[in-house]
């Protein structure tokens, strides 16, 4: 995570002062009538994400206009954090808009859905040609496409910007995935790049493409996040089944975090596992109900993948695993009815088993990235976005929830090669050749012991399906032709064919 640049209060004060025609005091909130046209950016919606983003902008020396439906939030923000930069506090939307320099840059940080449309409706009458409205929430990319088209008719730019990194990221440097017109990026990009995380000085923010591209990329980011979390859960479950205590597993994750698997999610996993419940003195993870929730971005990823016809089975399994966990009645009925192995894993060499689980985790993770990036590439073609996959990997290297050492490798592979799939990238395929033996052993051991590994096994099935010379899809085509005359194509001839199954079973060209 990058350090925020020191604020430049002198400059901000000068801007506000010039507009106001009177001296302002550093750290003192500026009243709207004293800052007409002086704020570089405005933030609407000051819940935690919005507040933190506004503070991040102010800390980087931008004068930030603030608006929240209830004024108390705005006041609380400046009271607590006003000293971090220059804020213009407003209580009415027209006032808010009036404080912004042209073209206006308005960032909406409200809960995705109807709230965003309501804010846009209220804003519209106050905006003018060329102004830029940014939606920084987790909006569905189709909503973003709709909103972009609507605002374009009014001569306005609508930017759907995926912002990842949670509350801390919003404050200290998130990964930002903006979509919309290129022209709007000229005016907006420098500010967003400024407040984003940095890797060796490179911002974790880049233009993703027109209309819904940014929110699409963020959606897939979340899909990969779901898969990554599921794999980590499976690794934990396997290590526990092999007899490691929770603290030992935490230690394993800590060690893994010093190598190829280094990532934010592995780091926080160790911390969660180390947490002891004050009430019971047991590991907290043992007293948390084992029912995983979701707000829906993982589900959207899979829904979109189904429509695009892109196989993202690891993300699908992770969404279904959460659903399975959240059906207590179903689980209870099955638990009573079904028998099977008792989850005991007794590896001959525990250390070797831990290494095999690491290999399975790394391999599955690579597959999830391969699938997510394939989905982005396919959507980019379908929607005409021209998304640069190397840029996606580049801006995911820090700030976001799935930030990981692996992303630098992915970035450089995409930058150096034209890849159909990440799995063919030289360093990835070499590593997969090394890790696959351990990965297979782990899946086999898990299946034998009755430990569910939907993520690890889906990833492996994907790899084996792609590797196969021939797939049983040929038989499926034969069946479809049998009952529905759906026709098939031959390996040795052009065109479509049908066998007269209920007749003399001769073949006709159709
Ligand atoms: C991020 C996160 C963030 C969030 C999602 C997913 O990138 O900062 O992905 O967007 O945690 O809301 O949460 P669910 O697991 O609830 O779907």
Q: Of all protein residues, whose CA lies closest to atom 14 belonging to ligand 1? A: 294
The pLDDT value recorded for residue 26 is 52
225 labelled catalytic:
yes
C-alpha 234 – ligand 1 centre gap (Å): 20
Residue of 225, 234, 413, 431 with catalytic role = 225
Ligand 1 first shell, C-beta below 6 A: 138, 164-166, 222, 225, 293-295, 297-298, 400-401
What is the longest distance spanned by two Cα atoms in the chain?
Answer: 96
Polymer length in residues for the chain: 510
Average pLDDT, the chain: 94
218 labelled catalytic:
yes
Distance CA 172, CA 61 (A): 14
For the CA of 292, the closest atom of ligand 1 is: 15
C-alpha 275 – ligand 1 centre gap (Å): 22
184, 211 contact by CB (below 8 A): no
The pLDDT value recorded for residue 78 is 97
Beta-bridge partners for 89: 66
For 257, the 3-state DSSP assignment is coil
Helix/strand/coil (H/E/C) assignment for every residue in 209-243: ECCCHHHHHHHHHHHHHHHHHHHHHHHHHHHHHCC
* DSSP symbol at 283: B
Beta-bridge partners for 163: 176
Q: How far is CA 120 from CA 108, 134, 150, 161, 246, in A?
A: 9, 10, 10, 15, 48
Cis bond before residue 103 (omega within 30° of 0): yes
Q: How far is CA 403 from CA 166, 169, 183, 228, in A?
A: 12, 11, 29, 11
pLDDT digits (tens, 9 = 90+) for 480-504: 999 999 999 999 999 999 999 999 9
392, 376 contact by CB (below 8 A): yes
For 498, the 3-state DSSP assignment is strand
For 130, the 3-state DSSP assignment is coil
Give the global pTM: 0.93
Give the mutation target among 297, 299, 402 for probing the ligand 1 site: most ligand atoms within 8 A of CB. 297
The pLDDT value recorded for residue 19 is 41
pLDDT digits (tens, 9 = 90+) for 394-450: 999 999 999 999 999 999 999 999 999 999 999 999 999 999 999 999 999 999 999
408 token code pair:
């630098």
For 311, the 3-state DSSP assignment is coil
∠ CA 103-105-106 to the nearest 5 degrees? 140
∠ CA 480-382-484 to the nearest 5 degrees? 10
72, 93 contact by CB (below 8 A): no
∠ CA 142-148-151 to the nearest 5 degrees? 145
**Which residues, given as ranges, of the chain have pLDDT below 70?**
1-28
C-alpha 226 – ligand 1 centre gap (Å): 9
Contacts with 33 (C-beta within 8 Å, 6 or more apart), sequence order = 20
For the CA of 138, the closest atom of ligand 1 is: 10
Residue of 148, 193, 218, 365 with catalytic role = 218
Q: How far is CA 168 from CA 55, 192, 221, 400, 492, in A?
A: 11, 16, 18, 10, 59
């Amino acid at each position: 995570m990058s350090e925020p640049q020191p604020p430049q209060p002198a400059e901000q004060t000068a801007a506000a002062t010039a507009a106001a025609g009177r001296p302002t005091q550093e750290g003192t909130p500026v009243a709207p009538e004293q800052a007409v046209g002086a704020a570089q950016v405005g933030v609407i919606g000051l819940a935690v994400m919005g507040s933190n983003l506004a503070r991040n902008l102010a800390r980087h020396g931008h004068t930030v206009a603030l608006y929240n439906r209830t004024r108390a939030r705005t006041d609380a923000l400046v009271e607590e954090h006003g000293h971090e930069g220059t804020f213009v506090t407003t209580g009415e939307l027209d006032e808010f808009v009036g404080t912004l320099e042209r073209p206006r840059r308005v960032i909406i940080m409200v809960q995705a859905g109807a709230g965003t449309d309501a804010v846009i409706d209220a804003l519209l009458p106050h905006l003018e040609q060329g102004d830029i409205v940014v939606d920084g929430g987790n909006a569905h990319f189709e909503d973003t496409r709709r909103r972009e088209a609507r605002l374009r008719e009014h001569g306005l730019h609508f930017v759907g910007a995926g912002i990842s990194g949670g509350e801390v990221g919003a404050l200290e440097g998130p990964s930002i995935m903006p979509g919309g017109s290129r022209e709007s990026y000229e005016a907006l990009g420098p500010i967003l790049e400024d407040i984003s995380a940095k890797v060796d000085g490179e911002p974790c923010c880049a233009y993703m493409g027109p209309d819904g591209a940014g929110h699409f990329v963020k959606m897939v980011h979340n899909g990969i996040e779901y898969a990554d979390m599921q794999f980590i859960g499976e690794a934990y479950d396997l290590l526990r089944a092999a007899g490691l205590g929770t603290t030992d597993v935490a230690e394993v994750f800590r060690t893994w975090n010093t190598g190829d698997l280094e990532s934010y999610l592995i780091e926080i996993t160790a911390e969660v596992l180390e947490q002891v419940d004050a009430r019971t003195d047991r590991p907290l993870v043992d007293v948390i109900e084992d029912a995983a929730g979701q707000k829906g971005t993982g589900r959207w990823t899979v829904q979109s993948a189904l429509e695009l016809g892109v196989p993202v089975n690891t993300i699908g399994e992770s969404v279904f695993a959460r659903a399975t966990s959240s059906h207590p009645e179903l689980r209870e009925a099955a638990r009573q009815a079904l028998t099977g192995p008792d989850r005991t894993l007794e590896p001959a060499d525990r250390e070797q088993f831990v290494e095999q689980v690491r290999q399975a985790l790394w391999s599955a993770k690579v597959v999830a990235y391969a699938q997510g990036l394939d989905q982005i590439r396919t959507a980019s073609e379908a929607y005409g976005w021209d998304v640069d996959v190397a840029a996606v990997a580049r801006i995911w290297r820090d700030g976001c929830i799935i930030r990981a050492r692996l992303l630098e490798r992915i970035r450089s592979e995409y930058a150096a090669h034209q890849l159909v799939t990440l799995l063919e990238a030289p360093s990835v395929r070499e590593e997969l050749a090394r890790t696959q033996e351990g990965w297979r052993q782990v899946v086999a051991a898990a299946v034998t012991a009755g430990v569910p590994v939907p993520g690890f096994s889906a990833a492996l099935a994907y790899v084996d399906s792609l590797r196969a010379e021939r797939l049983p899809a040929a038989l499926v085509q034969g069946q479809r032709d049998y009952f529905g005359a759906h026709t098939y194509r031959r390996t040795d001839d052009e065109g479509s064919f049908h066998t007269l199954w209920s007749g003399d079973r001769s073949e006709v060209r159709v």
